[in-house]
Structure 1
Amino acid sequence: MNTQTYASSKSLKGIDRKRVVKGKHDDKDDFDGTPTAPPSEVPQPDSSASCDTQDTPKASLSKERPYRKGMTYNKTCVGTPIIHRSDYTMLPEDSVVISSSYRKIRNIVSHIEEHHFEVLKVKHADGRIESMFLPMKDDVRASLYDEIVPGTSITANMLSYLMFNRFQMSTPAYREAKNRLSDMDWNTSVQNLLNWADKGAMQLNKLIPALKKIALQDGANVNVDETWLRYHAYNKKRKTYMWCLV
């Protein structure tokens, strides 16, 4: 139908009926992970690699696709794999192991940790009163105390998690507090999430001068575009526009 509508010739006499019209996405269903680079540029598999050898398909250069030139299909390990070995002593009697291989299983762990830091209120010799936390030498997680967002009871990592869910995943604050966080045994109010977002914005504003200096440096390719944002004002929603600098 597209050929009849947009082609230069609209003849239906069958002159070009045998011509096969292919779209640019027709070959994508046949993609088997084959590198499309010339044979001299195809990287050879590393015999020392333990994570990619099993799942990487064999390279076949029978078909070369220009739009996938230089791309490879690899199933790499996610982070540092946790190895679970088999207990050979539990094998049935008179059985023989023919071969051994590892099956990759991926699991996600999502939970909230609550840390209690002992804060000391100290009075110095000159009369000054100061609150401080003095970590033990063997406390490997004591650095979390330095990552607390000022004015909140959460770390910067926790705040970035909440902001990602709110703005990138478009999760309302009520759903975040009453569904997601409550499922992880943390019952908090919606107002806490909104207050923490304001505290994070105050810290982010301190970075804006440095970011603008980098973006506007000599030789930079500056792009500016407009996007809209909905916000609450006086018990009603309003629409404003932001200019984003890249």
Structure 2
Amino acid sequence: MSLHLPKLDTDPQAPFPPVETALQRPDGLLAFGGDLSVPRLCNAYRHGVFPWFSEGQPILWWSPDPRTVFETAQLRPNRRLARALRGSHWTLRADTAFAEVVAACAVAPRPGQDGTWITADMQAAYVGMHAAGHAHSVEVFDGTRLVGGIYGVAIGRMFFGESMFSGTTGGSKAALLGLAAQMRDWDMPLIDAQVENPHLSRLGATNWPRPRFIEAVQALVDRPPPVTGSWSEGFGSRPASDLGSAR
């Protein structure tokens, strides 16, 4: 590991290095070490930092510039997807199959990637965050079969997306749209999507300069959350067909 990359203190509440000190190549690499405990992860997300590393690597922490985001007010289905959703029999729920969504994301094939960053340790860490009420999932069901989902971390009125998957075509899009619809109802304006890729761009993600993103995060994480603990009751069971009318 480069001597120019800071190693995190053993105290999970210790401050992260300033995000402005992150490397430009690779973009956003900020620090290494530490752990994946609930206090450490909450500390990271509150400051616009997230873990991302592969099996066999140390824990690596990132804050890229620019930052890819979805604005929930702008996230709507295109005409083709809206038509498909209106004819769908899927239902959406939240926090009823969190571990299953994370596991499905870990094995989902992704163009240009060999293997997964959602290692067993990462899965265990986010299941721990979920148990502590900080991580949430939106799930898409066809009957009792899980066909799509998204998961991430919510602090205050900010949602930090981690990953999503489709078991059936359109499943991840329905999960993302369902998440955005609920967030609009809860006055949560922003979903962090971390790093740009063509798929996210096609879905409507945009890139914000890191200073703008960090400023927004600092304001949103300090606002009271719309609900505490599980999102299951507040989200309810929603027909995916309703998302086809959200234009």
After TM superposition, the score normalised by the length of structure 1 is 0.21
Flag the structure with higher helix content.
2
Structure with the greater relative contact order (CA < 8 A, sep ≥ 6): 1 or 2?
2
Q: Which has the higher strand share?
A: 2
Q: Which has the larger radius of gyration?
A: 1
